[in-house]
Amino acid sequence: MANLKEIRSRIASVSSTMQITSAMKMVSAAKLKKAQDAITAMRPYANKLTELLQSLSATLDADSGSKYSIQRDVKKVLIVPITSNRGLCGAFNSNIIKQTQSLVDYDYAGKKVSIFAIGKKGNDAFMKKSMVIANKSTLFDDLTFDNVAEVAETLMEKFVSGEFDKIDIVYNKFKNAATQEVMTEQFLPIVPIQNNAHVNLDYIFEPSKVEIVEQLIPKSLKTQLYKGIRDSFASEHGARMTAMHKATDNATELRDQLKLTYNKARQAAITNEILEIVGGANALNG
């Protein structure tokens, strides 16, 4: 059994850790509320814009299609994994890294795959494999639509120039504080809806349908990427809050066990001292 000094040291260490995890939990809870409100308010707009764009694209002739809808033989793929800059958030980052690696190993096996990392953790994971062509971890320092739009424009340019034939984004979709769903979405080329039965062709378009689509596509792509990053941002704080809550509970349980061990050791030491005193007294009396 460890001596009393070692146990006291461990109790102090665990108590200090518990204070840190508890503080991190409260900070993440505060940030989560704001991030959750932002993604909840944005989703209806982003989904409707994407639906509208896909419906319009589905009614265009092949010759009048957008440069962002060109289907090429997929040889060069760009994957955009969205992770966080910091850890201590459970399996949040590892799930994205595993999903990205799965795409590389199975879905795009035999193709040239590159990584456009958003988040330090994803960059660190794939930098070792010499796959990263860019890292935009600074986005989270000032997460605004304008800053994300610049990244989206870069991705669009890489597709239009033919540098890549397909671009996917991988991110955590926020459901609640304890649940995040790993999503893989095709960013480019744009995929029109498969079922055209519900597409209403009775609209009068002003300006032309082609011009509207050309104006909507860049806005829709920027919004899609911004929504993915916003989803990931909310998921990160939810995952960290949950992880720190579990860590605090575990630390509390460990501290209580150590205190019990300390009390038992202290009682054993006192008993031994009493026995030694009684033994010494008996020896003197004898």
Instruction: Tell me whether residue 260 is exposed, middle or buried, using C-beta atoms within 10 angstroms of its C-beta: 0 to 12, 13 to 18, 19 or more.
Output: exposed
What is the extent of the structural domain holding 200? 21-239
Domain count, the chain: 1
Task: Report the pLDDT averaged over residues 134-158.
Answer: 93
Asked if the structure places residue 220 within a domain, the reply is yes
pLDDT given at position 197: 47
Task: Provide the edge-to-edge strand list for the sheet that holds 166-176.
Answer: 132-135, 112-117, 76-81, 166-176, 179-188
Query: What does the pLDDT look like over 219-253, one tens digit per residue?
Result: 989 999 999 999 999 999 999 999 999 999 999 99
Asked if the structure places residue 4 within a domain, the reply is no
Average pLDDT, the chain: 88
pLDDT given at position 208: 75
Residues 142, 150 contacting (CB under 8 angstroms)? no
Angle between the 4-59 and 209-285 helix axes, to the nearest 10 degrees? 170
Asked if the structure places residue 13 within a domain, the reply is no
Asked if the structure places residue 41 within a domain, the reply is yes
Under the banding of pLDDT at 50, 70 and 90, the label for residue 63 is: very low
* Calpha distance 119→66 (Å, rounded): 30
Which of the residue ranges 18-27, 63-72, 165-174 would you say has the lowest mean pLDDT?
63-72
Asked if the structure places residue 171 within a domain, the reply is yes
Query: What does the pLDDT look like over 211-223, one tens digit per residue?
Result: 777 788 899 899 9
Query: What does the pLDDT look like over 74-116, one tens digit per residue?
Result: 999 999 999 999 989 999 999 999 999 999 999 999 999 999 9
Of 82, 89, 156, 251, which residue is the catalytic one?
89
Residue 184 host element (H or E): strand 179-188
Q: Is 189 among the residues known to form the active site? A: no
Asked if the structure places residue 120 within a domain, the reply is yes
Under the banding of pLDDT at 50, 70 and 90, the label for residue 201 is: low
Query: What does the pLDDT look like over 2-17, one tens digit per residue?
Result: 688 888 999 999 999 9
Q: What percent of the chain has pLDDT over 90?
A: 62
Asked if the structure places residue 6 within a domain, the reply is no
pTM for the model:
0.85
**Domain of residue 82, CATH code:** 3.40.1380.10
Residues 77, 113 contacting (CB under 8 angstroms)? yes
Asked if the structure places residue 143 within a domain, the reply is yes
Q: What percent of the chain has pLDDT over 70?
A: 92
pLDDT given at position 59: 64
